């Protein structure tokens, strides 16, 4: 079963739903092309489906879909795992025994002003306990930056509240945690019927510098996959054993420290990388994550790595700063597209969100990615600027 909500359903996902005739639930008024060709379920059908399956195969296309599931399955085991992962504070408490070096505190909105900046273990990351993408996520280098960063966090989360529901992004509780030094990776995977982890994607996240918290570029290539598949599989296996996960898809963000330890940043349940970005794997190594999950397919990574070329495959999320613009009149998509040397696919996103395009592309080396990381997107955003611009 797939539970769909805004903001976006890709052509790849829509085609997979039609091809496999997957049971589909629309949890809001998201517009779907050729909707009559889908196997749409009613809310009553939704309940019936779960009554017939002890460990149902369920996938969400976005964070907003999770609330639909949890609101209707209060006592189901799947809801326990969803709530644990979705709340970053609860997840850290759960993982603390395995990661004694976790240094974090959970702060309610009413307590923000009372925090003594000198008491924090800098550098720290500030983020909403319930959040999506990197909205409201900031790095603070020293006590002198604290009050300015908190003003930015409050302003961004206030604007995000007009784009996303409170179960997707919530400003009531923040996490303040010590910076985890290391390289960051994103994983799309699922646990099969026997509880074994099946990795479908591994992407490296690229940053301009240590203070960058944006989601602009993730990438993959065969050399990185060879290095990371085994340690990431071991990491996921440990999570799965503790929670007895079965037929459970997820998107995980982790850091690998200089000592080689895998430290979880967050785990997003019942979904893969958002707004269709998980489909970079379709271009890079021929893996459609939703199809693999529902058909219980497992990649033959040995063959796939042998068949891959040496290219770097990446996706680029074109976003505007929620604090940066008075109004948005439109975007110069054709101009932005020309900034890439080898576009595999250019996707325009719905206008009501701050990601306005996702670009899949390939390059010979990482040099193009470094150039694009530093690129100013302001010329491609038709608007009135009021502050910082991307």
Query: What is the predicted pLDDT for the residue at 28?
Result: 93
Is residue 213, in this structure, part of any structural domain at all? Answer: no
Is residue 51, in this structure, part of any structural domain at all? Answer: yes
Query: What is the predicted pLDDT for the residue at 22?
Result: 96
**What three-state secondary structure class fits 173?**
strand
Q: Which residue has the tokens 């966090």?
A: 153
Is residue 8, in this structure, part of any structural domain at all? Answer: yes
Query: What is the predicted pLDDT for the residue at 388?
Result: 44
Task: Please tell me whether the peptide bond between 123 and the residue prior to it is cis, using omega within 30 degrees of 0.
Answer: yes
Element (H, E) at 335: helix 333-337
**What three-state secondary structure class fits 27?**
coil
Is residue 321, in this structure, part of any structural domain at all? Answer: no
Of all residues in the chain, what percent carry a pLDDT higher than 90?
A: 64
d(CA 168, CA 161): 9
Instruction: Clarify whether residues 80 and 117 are in a common domain.
Output: no
Is residue 327, in this structure, part of any structural domain at all? Answer: no
Beta bridge partners of 201: 188
Instruction: Clarify whether residues 71 and 116 are in a common domain.
Output: no
Confidence of residue 134 (pLDDT cuts 50, 70, 90): confident
pLDDT digits (tens, 9 = 90+) for 53-84: 767 799 999 988 998 898 888 778 888 899 99
CATH number for 137: 3.30.1490.20
Is residue 126, in this structure, part of any structural domain at all? Answer: yes
d(CA 343, CA 369): 13
pLDDT digits (tens, 9 = 90+) for 198-209: 999 999 999 999
d(CA 328, CA 354): 10
pLDDT digits (tens, 9 = 90+) for 363-378: 999 999 999 999 999 9
Pick from 238, 241, 228: nearest CA to 199: 228
Domain's final residue, options 178, 195, 219? 178
Is residue 107, in this structure, part of any structural domain at all? Answer: yes
d(CA 17, CA 11): 10
b/e map 177-201, b = 16+ CB within 10 Å: bbbbebebbbbbbbbbeebebbbbb
Beta bridge partners of 188: 201, 251
Query: What is the predicted pLDDT for the residue at 128?
Result: 84
39: its two tokens? 């196997």
Pick from 104, 71, 78, 69: nearest CA to 90: 104
Instruction: Clarify whether residues 67 and 108 are in a common domain.
Output: no
Is residue 311, in this structure, part of any structural domain at all? Answer: no
Instruction: Clarify whether residues 19 and 76 are in a common domain.
Output: yes
Res. 101: pLDDT tops 80 = no
Domain of 10, in residue numbers: 2-85
Confidence of residue 390 (pLDDT cuts 50, 70, 90): very low
Confidence of residue 386 (pLDDT cuts 50, 70, 90): low
pLDDT digits (tens, 9 = 90+) for 329-345: 899 999 999 999 999 99
Domain tally, the chain: 2
Instruction: Clarify whether residues 7 and 60 are in a common domain.
Output: yes
373: its two tokens? 């990381």
Q: For residues 113 and 186, which has the higher predicted lDDT (pLDDT)?
A: 186
pLDDT digits (tens, 9 = 90+) for 4-26: 999 999 999 999 999 999 999 99
**What three-state secondary structure class fits 191?**
strand
Q: Is 327 exposed, middle or buried (0-12, 13-18, 19+ CB in 10 A)?
A: exposed
Of all residues in the chain, what percent carry a pLDDT higher than 70?
A: 96
**What three-state secondary structure class fits 252?**
strand
Instruction: Clarify whether residues 106 and 73 are in a common domain.
Output: no
Domain's final residue, options 161, 178, 195? 178
pLDDT digits (tens, 9 = 90+) for 348-366: 999 878 899 999 999 999 9
Res. 164: pLDDT tops 90 = no
Confidence of residue 389 (pLDDT cuts 50, 70, 90): very low
Contact status, residue 281 vs residue 344, Cβ threshold 8 Å: no
């Amino acid at each position: 079963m797939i539970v769909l909500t805004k903001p976006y359903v890709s052509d790849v996902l829509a085609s997979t739903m039609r091809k496999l005739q997957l049971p589909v639930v629309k949890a809001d008024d998201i517009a779907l092309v050729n909707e009559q060709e889908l196997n749409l379920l009613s809310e009553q059908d939704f309940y019936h489906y779960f009554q017939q399956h002890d460990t149902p195969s369920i996938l969400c296309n976005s964070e907003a879909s999770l609330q639909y599931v949890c609101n209707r399955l209060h006592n189901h085991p799947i809801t326990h795992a969803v709530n644990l992962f979705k709340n970053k504070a609860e997840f850290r408490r759960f993982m603390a025994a395995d990661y004694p070096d976790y240094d974090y505190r959970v702060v309610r909105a009413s307590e923000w002003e009372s925090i003594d900046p000198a008491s924090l273990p800098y550098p720290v990351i500030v983020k909403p306990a319930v959040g999506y993408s990197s909205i409201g996520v900031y790095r603070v280098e020293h006590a002198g930056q604290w009050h300015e960063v908190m003003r930015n966090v409050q302003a961004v989360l206030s604007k995000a509240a007009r784009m996303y529901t409170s179960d997707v992004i919530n400003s009531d509780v923040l996490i303040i945690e010590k910076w985890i030094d290391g390289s960051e990776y994103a994983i799309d995977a699922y646990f099969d019927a026997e509880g074994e982890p099946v990795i479908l994607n591994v992407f490296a996240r690229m940053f301009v510098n240590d203070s960058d918290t944006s989601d602009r570029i993730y990438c993959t290539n065969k050399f990185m996959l060879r290095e990371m598949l085994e340690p990431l599989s071991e990491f996921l296996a440990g999570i799965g054993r503790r929670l007895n996960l079965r037929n459970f898809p997820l998107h995980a963000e982790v850091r690998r420290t200089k000592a080689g330890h895998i430290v979880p940043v967050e785990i997003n349940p019942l979904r893969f990388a958002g707004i269709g970005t998980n489909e970079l794997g379709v271009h890079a190594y021929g893996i459609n994550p939703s199809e693999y999950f529902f058909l219980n397919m497992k990649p033959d990574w040995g063959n796939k790595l042998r068949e891959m070329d040496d290219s770097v495959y990446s996706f680029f999320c074109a976003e505007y700063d929620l604090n940066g613009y008075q109004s948005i009149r439109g975007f110069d998509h054709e101009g932005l597209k020309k900034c890439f040397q080898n576009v595999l696919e250019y996707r325009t996103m719905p206008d009501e969100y701050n990601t306005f395009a996702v670009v899949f592309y390939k390059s010979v080396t990482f040099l193009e990615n470094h150039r694009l990381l530093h690129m100013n997107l302001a010329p491609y955003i038709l608007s009135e600027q009021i502050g910082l611009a991307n």
